Amino acid sequence: MRNKNISVSALPVWKSLDAHSSEVRQLHLRKLFADDIKRGERMVVEALGIYFDYSKHLITDETLRLLLQLAKESGLQDHINKMFRGDKINITENRAVLHVALRAPKEQSIVVDGENVVPLVHKVLENMAKFSNLVRGGVWKGYTGKPIKNIINIGIGGSDLGPVMAYEALRYYSQRNLNFRFVSNIDGTDFAEATYDLEPDETLFIISSKTFTTLETMTNAHTARDWVLKSLMNPAAVASHFVAVSTNADEVAKFGIDTANMFEFWDWVGGRYSMDSAIGLSTMIAIGPENFRSMLDGFHQMDEHFRTAPFERNLPVLMGLLGIWYNNFFDAQTVAVLPYEQYLKRFPAYLQQLTMESNGKHVSLDGTEMDIQTGPIYWGEPGTNGQHSFYQLIHQGTKLIPCDLIGFIHPLNPVGRHHDLLMANVFAQAEALAFGKTADEVRADGTAEWLVPHRTFEGNRPSSTILLDRLTPETLGKLVALYEHSVFTQGTIWNIDSFDQWGVELGKALAAGIIPELEDGANSRVTHDSSTGNLIKRYIRNKKLSSKP
Ligand code: G6Q
């Protein structure tokens, strides 16, 4: 195993990959497929009902051999074991990284600071289930005795993106007489629009915040309390209309929420890894405790696969390694995630936080400046919508953009021919990206010579096709865990801390210095540059002038 004080780029296997990438750049997928007629059947891994076709990647067997060697020499298995046994691998925050404990079965034991945390997880899950059933059954009443009809999750970042994504993804399974809304932005419009057509006495707020100090969430939470109290007039109403999800009982109590109505999680759960903790309370109310349990089972199955499957058949490991191949040896800057499933419309946004907050780091674990690229930019939209906008650049632009195309065999809403048409697009896009259309093929269509270059597609653009049976709570759990562990694989190879987020912490502190200046014209504690100072002055001066919409 490599000495972690030495950059991964100094490893002989890295240098071999570098040299090998120059050879692979000369190859074309058309030829790779023609030379090996079984490539499309061979370069596939099927596990846990996920069919992962990686044959349309710019790789050979030698590429895979070298990438797998890289994973091995980077101590990936050892690092996986450390995470699963609760070692403090988030070194800059001195914390264990144990989202895997959130989906561990009851009988498992994972010890953090001398305590088995699995029973704690199950205790909270039981409390969440009891509460969810009360709300779902109309037993939990608002202050005036009416049942709750609306559930609003107030949170941001990791305390919002997972709940929003999971609600949208699993909406098919949700209890339809309940409305779910999500307020995250400190822009008052978010709160105003979310509550515009709602009655306070039928509305339950879940204040989701690990720290219970985040400016956006606490501002929205106070606004929500004012909104409820303006109508219900008695502070006692807070108990019926507010619950909290947090690690910070003191702050929850200070806000006025009875800590009996607080659902706990722990510092070893990172925000972006928390959708299956109590942060998923809105998800559980929407889909019910049983469905939530089967989502956790899906996560757990992928955890076990990641922990135990040999690397060459290990889905997150392969996915992570392919990402490294393009990021570090082909200078690819981005990865497009293209789910052909309307319910997954927020999945790319969710993945942006998971991947970019985790692996957007410029120093290695020992604080040395990285000499290679780390995390790529993730982005995407559901297909087929994206095909009518940005796919043009993926097909014919000058940038290499590896794509993940995600599709399901069975639709949740079978409507006429729709699903076959949808899936025809998945297969056609992956095919076109890989094989393109040669100038001769374009000419053979009778295209005028001057138009030929415009209508030629060079192809050789890589993609993975990820096929699953049907979108269920369980498959969603597997899919999210697949990406979580792929991020882990990459972070381990780059030797960075994938579990801190100092850039986010900076954002939390930055505005604090300017707020008093804007609110009461107070002199700033900090001196601003001429641009910032001028912008602030202009804002203060002009906000006093009346302006009507
Ligand atoms: C996630 C980040 C960040 C965090 C939000 C909300 O990994 O730490 O996105 O989730 O800043 O923080 P709170 O849950 O503490 O309000």
Mean pLDDT for 488-508 is 93
Checking if the pLDDT of 281 tops 90, the result is yes
What is the tens place of the pLDDT at every residue in 389-420? 999 999 999 999 999 999 999 999 999 999 99
Checking if the pLDDT of 457 tops 70, the result is yes
Percentage of the residues of the chain whose pLDDT score is greater than 90: 92
User: What pLDDT was estimated at residue 66?
Assistant: 98
Residue 492 tokens read as 């381990």
Which of 263-272, 322-331, 498-507 is the least confident region? Answer: 498-507
Closest CA to 195 of 235, 158, 153: 153
Question: Which residue has a Cα nearest atom 8 of ligand 1?
Answer: 271
Mean pLDDT for 215-234 is 97
Please list, in sequence order, all residues whose beta carbon lies within 8 angstroms of the beta carbon of residue 91, skipping any fewer than 6 positions away.
365, 497
Distance of CA 368 to the CA centre of its chain: 27
Residue 447: strand, helix, or coil:
coil
What is the tens place of the pLDDT at every residue in 55-99? 999 999 999 999 999 999 999 999 999 999 999 999 999 999 999
Cα-Cα-Cα-Cα dihedral sign, residues 213, 217, 222, 225: negative
What span, in angstroms and rounded, lies between the C-alpha atoms of 258 and 278? Answer: 16
Q: What is the Cβ-side half-sphere exposure of residue 87, based on CA atoms within 13 angstroms?
A: 9
Q: Which residues line ligand 1 (CB under 6 A)?
A: 156-159, 209-211, 214, 217, 270-272, 357, 501, 504
User: What pLDDT was estimated at residue 519?
Assistant: 87
- What's the pLDDT band for 204 if we cut at 50, 70, 90? very high
Residue 148 tokens read as 């709750």
What is the tens place of the pLDDT at every residue in 512-541? 888 888 988 776 666 889 999 999 999 999
Mean pLDDT for 129-148 is 98
- 357 catalytically annotated: yes
Tell me the pLDDT of the chain averaged across its residues.
Answer: 96
User: What pLDDT was estimated at residue 5?
Assistant: 75
Residue 384 tokens read as 């087929």
Residue 336 tokens read as 């497009």
User: What pLDDT was estimated at residue 527?
Assistant: 81
Dihedral angle of Cα 9, 15, 18, 21, to the nearest 10 degrees: -140
Question: Which residue has a Cα nearest atom 1 of ligand 1?
Answer: 271
- What's the pLDDT band for 203 if we cut at 50, 70, 90? very high
What is the tens place of the pLDDT at every residue in 163-197? 999 999 999 999 999 999 999 999 999 999 999 99
User: What pLDDT was estimated at residue 451?
Assistant: 98
Residue 294: strand, helix, or coil:
helix
**Residue 524: DSSP 8-state:** P
User: What pLDDT was estimated at residue 526?
Assistant: 66
Which of 221-225, 240-244, 521-525 is the least confident region? Answer: 521-525
- CA–CA–CA angle 444, 445, 446 (5° rounding): 85
What span, in angstroms and rounded, lies between the C-alpha atoms of 157 and 162? Answer: 8
DSSP 382-438: -TTGGGGTTHHHHHHSSS---EEEEEESS-SS--TTHHHHHHHHHHHHHHHHHH-B-
Measured in Å, residue 210 CA sits from the centre of ligand 1 at: 7
Measured in Å, residue 481 CA sits from the centre of ligand 1 at: 19
Checking if the pLDDT of 4 tops 90, the result is no
Q: How far is CA 358 from CA 109, 336, 337, 488, in A?
A: 26, 17, 17, 8
Which of 92, 159, 267, 350 most suits a substitution to test ligand 1, by most atoms within 8 Å of the C-beta?
159
Which of 161, 247, 264, 504 most suits a substitution to test ligand 1, by most atoms within 8 Å of the C-beta?
504
Percentage of the residues of the chain whose pLDDT score is greater than 70: 98
Checking if the pLDDT of 546 tops 90, the result is no
Q: Which of 254, 388, 399, 543 is catalytic?
A: 388
Mean pLDDT for 251-274 is 95
Residue 187 falls in which region: left (phi positive, over 0), alpha (psi -120 to 50) or beta = beta
Residue 64 tokens read as 């895979």
**What is the residue whose two structure tokens read 């515009």?**
196
User: What pLDDT was estimated at residue 511?
Assistant: 83
Q: Which amino acid is at 379?
A: W
Measured in Å, residue 156 CA sits from the centre of ligand 1 at: 6
Question: Which residue has a Cα nearest atom 9 of ligand 1?
Answer: 157
- Three-state SS string across 456-494, please? CECCCCCEEEEEECCCCHHHHHHHHHHHHHHHHHHHHHH
Please list, in sequence order, all residues whose beta carbon lies within 8 angstroms of the beta carbon of residue 197, skipping any fewer than 6 positions away.
none
- CA–CA–CA angle 161, 164, 258 (5° rounding): 90
- What's the pLDDT band for 262 if we cut at 50, 70, 90? very high
Checking if the pLDDT of 200 tops 80, the result is yes
